[in-house]
């Protein structure tokens, strides 16, 4: 089944807003075995919206739009939809009542303009939106599936996850589908490919395999099709088993696991605690760790020591180490990790210090030079990172590298 995603809005066309919605939708569809064959974007002009939808319906089995379902005059997606499908807009009392309840719960009188969001094309099915007032719209006609989603990312994501994905999964095939996603970190995509090439080079047509790289690592997605459940499950599980045997050291989780979530579970299981000391990442690592619900059960504190003086006063880094080796050095990173472990009285201390950029580098220590370290009862582990010249990318990659060093320290693996 061919899928096309249409993002709607002048802000998308002009570049003032980055389109993250289509990427999210495409990833979710891939998880259920649907591949997006076309992506397009159109501004807030009804005639052009109609043209974009007409074209998409000609070349795709499933068309999904995102954007333009709000209550204001510039939200005209529904007008284009009813023109294309030759239907009228009618009030849906269930949607209207739900919108009223939302405003009542907040103690706010519903503006009359919000009634527009209860107008739906005749015969359409609405997809509930539990966080906002703009519902999704679904129309099935002439063996085509058309879906309109809100443009607010969080609202779109919830509707896709809770409503659209399960519906489309039931339409994918009369057979069975198995999706396995192995999450790796600490190794780049090309190096990973070299290690498993002998496994992935001769896969049957019933299996699709993909590398999904990000700053945090590389996900390996296995999609297996079969006429019955067993014929889809067994090949996928066998491939996953072979991959684990070869690259298991780099696999930290599966499916929706996150590195910070895995670390949290390990710490809780072992009844261990953690504290962080950060320089160039300025709290990003602590923020990532505490993004996990229940992290107060293992995370004791995070200290931002940006200046040399703060490293000395708050972490007890010996002044002569900074004078001799510099604030950005393996020696300082190790002293920071040991210092935060001791002063916070925790099982594990972790540190990051480096030159995020875009300036501040030298010939010996160019921009992107970062050192990370962990301290535990078994001693110190440390690592040098040679990253890019982009400040934000360097900070993000440093956080994930530190998280992986924590994981390996807890598991006591090299």
Give residue-wise pLDDT tens across range 178-196.
Answer: 889 999 999 999 999 999 9
Tens digits of per-residue pLDDT, 132-178? 888 999 999 999 999 999 999 999 999 999 999 999 988 876 667 78
**CATH 3.90.950.20 domain position(s) in the chain:** 259-411
Q: Are 127 and 138 in contact (CB under 8 A)?
A: yes
CATH topology (fold) of 176-254: Alpha-Beta Plaits (3.30.70)
What fold is seen in the domain 3-169?
Answer: Molybdenum Cofactor Biosythetic Enzyme; Chain A (3.40.980)
Strand ordering across the sheet containing 176-184: 207-214, 217-226, 176-184, 251-254
* Predicted local confidence at residue 373, as pLDDT: 98
Average pLDDT, the chain: 94
116, pLDDT greater than 70:
yes
Q: Give the per-residue pLDDT at 103.
A: 85
Q: How far apart are CA 408 and CA 411, in angstroms?
A: 5
Locate 380 and state its tokens. Answer: 């110190």
Query: What are the start and end residues of each CATH 3.40.980.10 domain in the chain?
Result: 3-169
Which uninterrupted H or E stretch holds 229? Answer: helix 229-247
Q: How is residue 157 written in tokens? A: 């994501």
As a whole number of angstroms, the longest Cα–Cα distance in the chain is: 78
d(CA 15, CA 1) in angstroms, rounded, equals 30
In order, the DSSP letters of 31-77 are HTT--EEEEEEE-S-HHHHHHHHHHHHHH-SEEEEES--SSSTT--H
Which CATH superfamily, name and number, covers 259-411?
Answer: CinA-like (3.90.950.20)
Q: How confident is the model at residue 44 (pLDDT cuts 50, 70, 90)?
A: very high
């Amino acid at each position: 089944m061919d899928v096309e995603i249409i993002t709607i809005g002048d802000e998308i066309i002009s570049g003032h807003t980055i389109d993250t919605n289509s990427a999210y939708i495409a990833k979710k569809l891939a998880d259920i075995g649907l591949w997006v064959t076309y992506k397009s974007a159109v501004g807030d002009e009804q005639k052009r919206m109609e043209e974009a939808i007409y074209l998409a319906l000609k070349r795709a089995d499933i068309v999904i739009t995102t954007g333009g379902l709000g209550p204001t005059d510039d939200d005209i997606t529904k007008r284009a939809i009813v023109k294309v499908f030759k239907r009228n807009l009618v009030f849906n009392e269930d949607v209207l009542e739900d919108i009223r309840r939302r405003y009542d719960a907040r103690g706010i009188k519903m503006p009359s303009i919000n009634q527009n969001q209860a107008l739906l094309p005749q015969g359409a099915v609405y997809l509930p939106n539990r966080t906002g007032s703009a519902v999704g719209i679904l129309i099935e006609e002439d063996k085509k599936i058309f879906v309109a989603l809100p443009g607010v990312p969080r609202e779109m994501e919830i509707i896709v996850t809770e409503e659209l994905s399960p519906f489309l999964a039931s339409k994918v095939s009369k057979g069975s589908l198995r999706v396995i996603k192995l999450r790796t970190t600490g190794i780049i995509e090309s190096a990973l490919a070299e290690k498993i090439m002998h496994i992935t080079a001769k896969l049957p047509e019933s299996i699709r395999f993909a590398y999904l790289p990000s700053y945090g690592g590389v996900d390996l997605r296995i999609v297996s099709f079969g006429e019955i459940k067993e014929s889809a499950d067994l090949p996928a599980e066998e491939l996953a088993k072979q991959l684990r045997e070869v690259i298991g050291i780099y696999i930290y989780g599966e499916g929706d696991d996150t590195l910070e979530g895995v670390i949290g579970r390990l710490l809780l299981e072992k009844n261990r605690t953690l504290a962080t000391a950060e320089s160039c990442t300025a709290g990003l690592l602590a923020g990532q760790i505490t993004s996990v619900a229940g992290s107060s059960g293992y995370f004791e504190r995070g200290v931002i020591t940006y200046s040399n003086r703060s490293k000395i006063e708050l972490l007890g880094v010996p002044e002569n180490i900074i004078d001799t080796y510099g604030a950005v050095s393996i020696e300082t990173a190790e002293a920071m990790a040991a210092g935060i472990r001791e002063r916070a009285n925790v099982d594990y201390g972790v540190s990051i210090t480096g030159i995020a950029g875009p300036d501040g580098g030298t010939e010996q220590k160019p921009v992107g030079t970062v050192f990370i370290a962990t301290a535990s009862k078994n001693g110190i582990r440390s690592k040098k990172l040679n990253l890019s010249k982009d400040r934000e990318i360097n900070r993000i990659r440093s956080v994930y590298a530190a998280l992986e060093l924590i994981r390996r320290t807890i598991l006591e693996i090299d």
